Amino acid sequence: MSFDPLAFHERAVRTPSHESVDGMRDLLVGTLDENGADPRVDGAGNVLASTGEGDFHLVLNTHLDTVPPHVPFSRDGDTVRGRGACDAKGPLATLVDAFLAADPDYRLTLAVTPDEETTSAGADALSLDGDAYIVGEPTGLDVCTAARGRFEGAVTIRGEAGHAAHPESGVNAVAGAEGVLRALRTFDAEHGPGTHDQLGGPTLTPTGIAGGEAINQIPAACRVDVDRRSVPPETAEGFETALNDHLAATAPDVDATFALTERETPFLEAFATDPDDSLVAAFEGAGAGDVRPFGAATEASYFAPAPTVVFGPGVLSDEVGPVAHAEREYVSRAEVEEAATILGDVLAAF
């Protein structure tokens, strides 16, 4: 059969995958099977297919799932709208097209994960030993060689309850948040990883605060939620340790400790590929856009330090506002076709 990426993309956007990816997985497996690709589904729900032989192993990756709510498919001329149009069913259509058209003298694997938007359990279960990876995400056809990681957690402040009429009778955990917030502002200058040549500096942002049981009671506990966007070489474990050391040094009068949010899979850490790597050069030679960092965390971090680039049609945001994850999510059909052509040329270059 002849694969049509635009027809597949339309079917994919019409297929809800915000609560369950079963329908999208069936569509992908059926499409690959119809085109002779012999797909399989592993125990973690990943869809895998391979072709070619050789010492070099190139992996094509993206994901099946989308964020809620489902946004129905619509089309206005060249523009396709709907949930997943660009994140990441547009990139998926281009990767499938390039994979099915390839005749490589190396090993080529398509690996599509089921839960990138949530736990990344699929990516965590992959053991592909690839020499290089291409991750499909909306980059506007630019070649993205790095991305910040994303960690999250909370600082727990412990005090002692007392009557608000006698503030001295207790230890006010909410008041202790002053020292914690001050410590968060100074952390990177004193204990941070520094500035990365592609990504710049990290960010550390308090995003929520909660504490107290009654208005007339000295609060015994307070929690400050923290969002961390990391840069290499910082790891999640290293960040947790360093922030606790910093809290102890800069807020010694506050009983405060930081803990990462518990999760079954590793956090999406920062990754960076040398912009002069041959994989990047192949994209430049195929007519891709600028070489730059990607604006969001991705499963690319599970594949680094192997050379990894993020590439695909569509954008995270435009001059109007958010696109991916937004109600107005869209992608250009012409850009989907151009991305498929670029990817085909990249695979041929290897």
Intra-chain end-to-end CA distance of the chain, in Å: 25
Going across the sheet that includes 330-332, the strands are: 74-76, 79-81, 330-332
Q: Give the C-alpha separation, 304 to 189, whole Å.
A: 27
Contact 41, 69 (CB under 8 A): no
pTM of the model: 0.91
Reference 193, options 164, 229, 160; nearest CA is 229
As a whole-number percent, the residues of the chain with pLDDT over 90 amount to 97
Reference 56, options 163, 148, 133; nearest CA is 133
Domains and CATH numbers, the chain: 5-147+270-349 (3.40.630.10), 149-260 (3.30.70.360)
Confidence class for position 38, pLDDT limits 50, 70, 90 = very high
pLDDT exceeds 70 at position 193: yes
pLDDT exceeds 90 at position 2: no
Q: Which pLDDT does position 75 carry in this prediction?
A: 97
pLDDT mean over 91-108? 97
Share the mean pLDDT of the chain: 96
pLDDT by residue (tens digit) across 135-189? 999 999 999 999 999 999 999 999 999 999 999 989 999 999 999 999 999 999 9
pLDDT exceeds 70 at position 346: yes
Confidence class for position 21, pLDDT limits 50, 70, 90 = very high
Dihedral sign, CA of 229, 290, 132, 42?
positive
The type of residue at 329 is E
Give me the helices (H) in 269-319, please: 278-285
Q: Which pLDDT does position 1 carry in this prediction?
A: 59
Residues whose CB falls within 8 Å of the CB of residue 111, separated by 6 or more in sequence, listed in order = 46, 47, 48, 59, 60, 61, 126, 128
pLDDT by residue (tens digit) across 203-254? 999 999 999 999 999 999 999 999 999 999 999 999 999 999 999 999 898 9
